[in-house]
Amino acid sequence: MARVKRGVTAHRRHRKVLAQTKGHRGTRNRLFKRANESLMRSLAFQYRDRRNRKREMRKLWIQRINAASRANGLQYSRLIYGLSTAGVDIDRKMLADLAVRDEEAFAAIVEAARQALPGSA
């Protein structure tokens, strides 16, 4: 069986890792061992934060909706309950966008939710 020399393969792999750590500081973009550690860590953070970004955005939308609905005289939880009771099928992302960009439309949605709440006839 022929002997397999790994020089070309290893060099290609090293070059690929060093290219991926191009923006890292110090030896983390020059020395392969340090660069590989830095790359593995950064990839783990990327994976984690792709999921965390979704949580953070939802929290931001809820805060914006709460602030705008309180400005219209209704708590966030009562607004969401009123919307579900009224059968208004609008998600939090769209509600937050309306709260920021179109206050009249948001006020109309709040009023629709208020009308659908029990005991508000």
What confidence category does residue 119 fall into, taking pLDDT thresholds of 50, 70 and 90? confident
- Let me know if residue 43 belongs to a domain: yes
Give the CA distances from residue 112 to residues 56, 99, 100, 106, in Å, rounded to whole numbers and listed in that order: 28, 15, 18, 10
- Summarize the confidence of residues 72-100 as an average pLDDT: 95
Domain count, the chain: 1
For residue 26, is it left (φ>0), alpha (ψ between -120 and 50) or beta?
left
- Let me know if residue 81 belongs to a domain: yes
- Let me know if residue 1 belongs to a domain: no
- Average pLDDT over all residues of the chain: 96
- Let me know if residue 11 belongs to a domain: yes
- Let me know if residue 79 belongs to a domain: yes
- Let me know if residue 2 belongs to a domain: no
pLDDT of 3-18, one tens digit each? 999 999 999 999 999 9
**Containing domain of residue 14, as a range?**
7-116
pTM (predicted TM-score): 0.81
pLDDT of 37-66, one tens digit each? 999 999 999 999 999 999 999 999 999 999
- Residue 31: the pLDDT is 97
- Let me know if residue 29 belongs to a domain: yes
Q: CATH number, domain at 81? A: 1.10.1900.20
Q: How far apart are CA 89 and CA 112, in angstroms?
A: 12
- Let me know if residue 17 belongs to a domain: yes
- Residue 121: the pLDDT is 58
